């Protein structure tokens, strides 16, 4: 497999400000935050993007969302609300080819996204 930035963060080869880790997921601060809280939640297993998911990944993706809820609550985002974003591919704005969920909060978000 080609080198992957987020796999290197999972292994500790590249440092990141870690917020949460369990056997399936890792959460760390985005290096270029676009909101007062901007976290990235990734599966520890390498998955390129949303379209690489198979039917066997349904549980993993359900747990991903539940983990995002838990992390958002711990980060104090429940009262004000928050936004979860998964960019997929070039038009979706995906720049790192390891599936990741953005957890954004701490300010009011606008719509539509740019």
| Whether the bond into 94 is cis, omega within 30 of 0 | no
Main-chain dihedrals φ then ψ at residue 89, nearest 5 degrees: 75, -175
31 binds ligand AMP (CB under 6 A): yes
C-alpha 98/C-alpha 3 separation (Å) is 11
30 binds ligand AMP (CB under 6 A): yes
Select which of 38, 46, 98, 100 is catalytic: 100
Nearest distance in Å: CB 52, ligand AMP? 14
Closer of 95 and 110 to ligand AMP (Cβ): 95
Is 100 designated active site? yes
Site map (CB under 6 A) of ligand AMP, residues 80-99, x = contact: -------x-----xxxx---
For residue 27, count other CB atoms closer than 10 A to its CB: 24
C-alpha 47/C-alpha 18 separation (Å) is 20
Q: Which residues bind ligand AMP (CB under 6 A)?
A: 5, 14, 16, 30-32, 40, 87, 93-96
> What amino acid positions are annotated as catalytic residues?
100
């Amino acid at each position: 497999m080609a080198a992957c930035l987020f796999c290197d963060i999972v292994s500790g080869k590249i440092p990141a400000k870690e917020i949460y880790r369990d056997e399936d997921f890792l959460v760390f601060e985005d290096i270029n935050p676009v909101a007062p809280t901007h976290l990235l939640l990734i599966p520890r297993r390498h998955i390129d993007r949303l379209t690489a998911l198979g039917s066997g990944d349904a549980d993993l993706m359900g747990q991903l969302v539940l983990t995002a809820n838990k992390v958002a609550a711990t980060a104090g985002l429940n009262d004000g609300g928050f936004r979860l974003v998964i960019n997929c591919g070039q038009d979706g704005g995906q720049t790192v080819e390891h599936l990741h969920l953005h957890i954004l909060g701490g300010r009011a978000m606008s719509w539509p996204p740019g």
